[in-house]
């Protein structure tokens, strides 16, 4: 009798531990968020997801975008900056815009101060994340252990063979951050770009990117800067946009909360979803209409019109 109770107790303990282990495991996957310039017309992204799924069928895989323009490292950097803070701590981003694939650029995992992980070639992709989230630690991927078994002969698809594989193992807890590889200096390859500034009563900035789907023009002039200039909703802003220093657009527009605050077809200035100053035309494309595009050759000045 005594024995049976003890046996039951022990059995109970074993089953409990075993169950919780399984439950814990089933719940342990962080998100794996993939960004590439591969497009989705072929099977490349699916091969990456297959490799990740093969690591652990409970993995949660998402797309950031696969439509980064080919080789455009700047846009890769921007998209990571735009979205990563909306994913929880622990999320593992794999970003593969890698014109130097197979050459001597480093393959790294960067852990930010916010607890997000970025698996990527160190080629400028981390430029903006390093500034906004801060670098906690960088490890270089040890490809002797963190590489899809049997893929040694392939030199041109690190996205599948190294980055997806390593990202999936990290996201699912199959390896710890420490097991990625050795710590290296917490410095990254950076893309140079013009930071925004205030001169007198004028804000100066660039057009880092377009809101392509609608043709809205985003700047890197943020709310703090306009607050300093005393800009408030319903002020009129004088806006000049330059390409390589040549005036490409000049106009005045209302600063409002949202598109519908001006009539259809009228221009507006507003804060985009990152709280950066942007220009749009309600129900039309500012970019197409005024032939304004994005990149380092584009600059912007903004000042408040005295009423």
Please, which residue, 53 or 293, has the CB nearer to a copy of itself?
53
57: which 2 tokens?
């069928």
Q: Is 83 in the site for a copy of itself (CB under 8 A)?
A: yes
- Contact pick of 72, 132, 137, 272 for a copy of itself (by CB under 8 A): 272
The angle at the Cα of 301, spanning 130 to 126, to the nearest 5 degrees, equals 10
- Contact pick of 86, 144, 199, 244 for a copy of itself (by CB under 8 A): 86
- Contact pick of 160, 169, 290, 304 for a copy of itself (by CB under 8 A): 160
Pairing of strands 267-271, 246-255: parallel
Give the x/- contact pattern for a copy of itself in 113-152, rule: CB under 8 A.
Answer: ----------------------------------------
Q: How far apart are CA 31 and CA 10, in angstroms?
A: 36
CA 280 distance to own-chain centroid: 23
Q: Which among 78-86, 188-196, 240-248, 291-299 is the span making contact with a copy of itself, rule CB under 8 A?
A: 78-86
The SS3 of residue 193 is coil
Please, which residue, 89 or 113, has the CB nearer to a copy of itself?
89
Q: Is 265 in the site for a copy of itself (CB under 8 A)?
A: no
Q: Is 182 in the site for a copy of itself (CB under 8 A)?
A: no
> Which 183-202 residues touch a copy of itself, going by CB under 8 A?
none
Q: Is 23 in the site for a copy of itself (CB under 8 A)?
A: yes
Q: How far apart are CA 22 and CA 58, in angstroms?
A: 12
User: By the 8 A CB rule, do 214 and 275 touch?
Assistant: no
Pairing of strands 117-121, 107-112: antiparallel
Please, which residue, 32 or 204, has the CB nearer to a copy of itself?
32
Q: Which among 95-103, 124-132, 172-180, 190-198 is the span making contact with a copy of itself, rule CB under 8 A?
A: 95-103
Q: Is 213 in the site for a copy of itself (CB under 8 A)?
A: yes
Contacting residues for 66 by C-beta, under 8 A, at least 6 apart: 34, 35, 36, 37, 38, 39, 40, 45
Q: Is 258 in the site for a copy of itself (CB under 8 A)?
A: yes
Q: Is 38 in the site for a copy of itself (CB under 8 A)?
A: yes
- For the CB of residue 306, give the shortest distance to a copy of itself in the complex, in Å: 26
The SS3 of residue 227 is helix
Q: Which of 94, 90, 96 is nearest to 68 (CA)?
A: 96
């Amino acid at each position: 009798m005594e024995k049976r109770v003890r046996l039951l107790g022990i059995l109970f303990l074993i089953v409990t531990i075993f169950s919780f282990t399984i439950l814990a495991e089933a719940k342990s996957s962080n998100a794996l968020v993939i960004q590439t310039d591969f497009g989705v017309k072929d099977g490349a992204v699916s091969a990456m997801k297959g490799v990740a799924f093969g690591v652990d069928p409970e993995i949660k895989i998402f797309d950031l975008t696969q439509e980064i323009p080919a080789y455009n490292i700047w846009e890769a950097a921007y998209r990571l900056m735009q979205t990563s803070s909306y994913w929880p701590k622990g999320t593992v981003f794999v970003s593969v815009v890698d014109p130097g694939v197979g050459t001597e650029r480093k393959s790294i995992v960067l852990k930010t101060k916010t607890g997000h992980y970025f698996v990527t070639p160190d080629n400028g992709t981390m430029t903006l994340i390093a500034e906004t989230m801060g670098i906690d630690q960088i490890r270089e991927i040890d490809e002797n252990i963190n590489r899809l078994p049997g893929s040694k002969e392939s030199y041109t698809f690190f996205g599948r063979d190294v980055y997806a594989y390593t990202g999936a193992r990290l996201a699912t807890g199959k390896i710890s951050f420490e097991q990625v590889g050795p710590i290296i200096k917490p410095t990254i390859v950076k893309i140079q770009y013009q930071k925004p500034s205030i001169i007198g009563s004028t804000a100066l900035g660039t057009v880092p990117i377009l809101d392509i789907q609608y043709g809205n023009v985003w700047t890197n002039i943020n709310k703090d800067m306009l607050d300093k200039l005393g800009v408030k909703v319903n002020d009129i802003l004088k806006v000049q946009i330059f390409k390589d220093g040549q005036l490409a657009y000049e106009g005045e527009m209302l600063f409002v909360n949202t598109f519908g605050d001006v009539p259809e077809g009228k221009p507006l200035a507003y804060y985009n979803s990152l709280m950066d100053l942007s220009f749009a035309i309600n129900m039309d494309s500012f970019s197409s209409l005024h032939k304004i595009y994005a990149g380092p050759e584009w600059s912007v000045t903004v000042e408040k019109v005295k009423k």
